[in-house]
Amino acid sequence: MTAQSLQTPPSLTTAFPGGPRLLADIGGTNARFALETAPGKIEAIEVLACAAYPTLAAALVAYLASPTVAQAGVTGIRNGAIAIANPVTGDMVRMTNHHWEFSIEALRREVNFDVLVVVNDFTALASSLPHLSANQKHQVGGGVGIDGTPLGLIGAGTGLGVSGLIPGKDGWTALQSEGGHVTFSPANALEVAILQFAWKEFDHVSAERLMSGAGIELIYRALADHTGVPAEQLTPSDISRRALSGECPLCDAAIEAFCCMLGTIAGNIAVTLGAQGGIYIGGGIVPKLGARFDRSGFRERFEAKNRFKQYLSAVPVWVITAEYPAFVGVSAILSDRLAAA
């Protein structure tokens, strides 16, 4: 899948002195690549299926040799940055939700880059938050953010990403969090039943086990078991589609449970970080739910913290609707790294 360009604010036309830069956003399902030819000018976007390539290096080399890059007339790329859905704690990266693993330094040499930065994808996405325009996000519920206070970030897709932005005297600091792997905490008897069902398959049930594509399927099977309704063999996409079309009450119940659980976790992030600037929701699942998410129990559950209900009712929640927001964040991180070199 390809796209032509993505204009990011501020849009400048002066080319980089070191030439165009490679940007990448690697998830468990798709690898997204782009070129930043000038500050804020992101183009030659292409999305490759991770399963189609044995390694990240193979996907990256295929992109650099693709007609998309050739049509952009770009050669001699020397610097790049990769956001990846995985912890990045040293030179070796082993993906949690895919089989790719690589050495950052070996990959840099293989593609002949001067600088290659690799960061967690939600660290990169968090770095994009201050740059999102009004038409790149959609507010769910009320609340007005307080300037100069932390921002929280959560996003469900192949896995569950968590991060945040903490303000400081020199700007924002993006958290390198793995908060998606905290232990799941049920909020009512139905969620206790879902957790008990999940325990039959997993010794440790993290938030990500349920707040992800595979989690939607797990919730669906748990609700079928709980209600005595026969479960069909459905993919997460099947469940979402049937829920949105109104053709399957059990599928809709699974999506509703997912939204409510996400509300609890998002509220936890808000009070943990003191994220009075707002909570942002990324990932591939929630933006596709559209109006169904708006009318779900998410916002009510987000605020359901008893003595902290008033506190949370003032915190805005935004669904990120920008198509490729991680590119904006990883670009900022690369610019900072090159400026410090």
Was 124 annotated as part of a binding site?
no
Query: Binding residue per annotation — 57?
Result: no
Q: Is 297 annotated as a binding residue?
A: no
Q: Minimal CA–CA distance to 217: which of 250, 182, 190?
A: 250
Is 336 one of the annotated binding-site residues? no
Residue 27 marked in a binding site: yes
Q: Check whether 152 is labelled as a binding-site residue.
A: no
Which residues fall in the annotated binding site? 24-29
Which residues fall in the annotated binding site for ATP? 24-29
